[in-house]
Structure 1
């Protein structure tokens, strides 16, 4: 299913990373653990540079860590395409864990399925490893606050 590729972004990846650093300074604590690597018409790509602190017993990236990456993907999409209002909030997020992921970079390819005045619906495919296999897939909805003025 194609996303809403006709929606042009208002902000680029570096602008979103700057907004994340300002609104959530504890997210990365001076590192680039979670980052937006690309913004394009109708979507974005986010990355998690997973290390030992993101692993559960058995050496795989934990579910809450993957969930966080999915949520950041949706947030990056709503900020980049809906405008830089940090008050947008998650109203729903469903995730399916498909296979294990070890430490290293994980990329989340996020696409906007619908962007309205009040809600944005998105999905994200989280991939890892040299073959880029899906490790998790999520769908979610963000609530967009009313424009002031």
Structure 2
């Protein structure tokens, strides 16, 4: 399936529709293979001991899967998470941004399933693995008909 929202469109959508996360996440790649999203790690993402918190890693996975789905179906804001599972594999590197490499496994009319591997920038070993399912509202059919 073709990409209907590129990196620029996804980042503009996030900035416009989700101002509460502005400056925290950035989509860096969106193509037929999936997307890569970045968590711009700052003090607010750290837990005691200086490591990136689990909720921050989960948020990165959620944003990356959300953007992967939207990259294929367009700006359907009410697409929502219906199931999620995350495995924390190792401690993220201190002082490094995190990258989520996400791929869609299934994109149907009403559900999308994807996985995301999260890495500390510069590392080849993932720090977390996440699997998510999203519900796609009927509004998607309206957007698709307008293309």
Unaligned runs of 5+ in 2: none
User: Deviation of residue 83 (structure 1)?
Assistant: 1.5
Quick check: which one's strand share is greater? Answer: 1
Output the CA distance in 1 between the equivalents of 2:51 and 2:125: 15
Whether the 8 Å contact between 1:123 and 1:139 is mirrored in structure 2 is yes
Output the CA distance in 1 between the equivalents of 2:115 and 2:57: 14
Match of 2:20 among 13, 26, 39: 26
Output the CA distance in 2 between the equivalents of 1:69 and 1:103: 16
Whether the 8 Å contact between 1:52 and 1:103 is mirrored in structure 2 is no
Unaligned runs of 5+ in 1: 1-6
Provide the TM-score with structure 2 as the length reference.
0.91
Output the CA distance in 1 between the equivalents of 2:81 and 2:128: 18
Output the CA distance in 1 between the equivalents of 2:15 and 2:42: 20
2:119 is the counterpart of 1:127: yes
Which residue number in structure 1 is paired with residue 97 of structure 2? 105
User: Deviation of residue 142 (structure 1)?
Assistant: 0.6
What do the CA deviations read for 1:13-34 (whole angstroms, capped 9, x no partner)?
1100111111111112xx3x21
- What is the Cα-based RMSD across aligned positions, in Å? 1.2
How many equivalent residue pairs? Answer: 140
Which residue number in structure 2 is paired with residue 69 of structure 1? 60
